Amino acid sequence: MLLPKKVQHRKWHKGRHRQKGVATRIDSVDFGDFGLKSEGFGWVTSQQLEAVRRVLTRYVRRGGKIWIRVFPDKPVTKKGNETPMGGGKGAPDHYVAVIKPGTVLFEMVGITKESAKEALDLAGYKLGFKTKFVKKK
């Protein structure tokens, strides 16, 4: 499971789930031949990234390579069940990566286009927003 070794601040603000704009950073397929690109806003947890990685490695076997282009570095806090109001913010529970439309999440190389499309389409079901299959330009 992915999580940062060290964070500058233990607890972050939540932010806005439905922000404006599109991705300007990780918006193209750079390492592999095929990629999985987001079409919506969302958070991706480290558990979701691990589930997608398992789906992709099942298709790649020994012949290909996978790149995970996002990293969950935002801490999400949670208070205990049946905790009364007040008492401050909860303890960090898990980490997420903030995703904007147009972000390339995963890249693959070393397999055919048909099997890569099938693998990345299955991987998209594990995430909480719409995704699409893209290839290198």
pLDDT at 29: 95
Which CATH number is 52's domain given?
Answer: 3.90.1170.10
Domain of residue 53 covers: 41-77+94-135
Task: List, edge to edge, every strand of the sheet that includes 42-45.
Answer: 42-45, 91-99, 74-78
24 within some domain: no
pLDDT by residue (tens digit) across 8-48?
999 999 888 777 889 889 999 999 999 999 999 999 999 99
pLDDT at 119: 94
Q: What are phi and psi of 72, to 5 degrees?
A: -80, 105
pLDDT at 53: 94
User: What is the value of pTM for the model shown?
Assistant: 0.88
pLDDT at 61: 85
> Other CB atoms closer than 10 Å to residue 125's CB: what's the count?
10
pLDDT at 117: 95
128 within some domain: yes
| Whole-number Å distance between alpha carbons of 23 and 37 | 10
86 within some domain: no
Domain count, the chain: 1
pLDDT by residue (tens digit) across 49-107?
999 999 999 988 888 899 999 999 999 999 999 999 999 999 999 999 999 999 999 99
3-state DSSP: the chain helix, strand, coil percent, rounded to 5?
20, 30, 55
7 within some domain: no
54 within some domain: yes
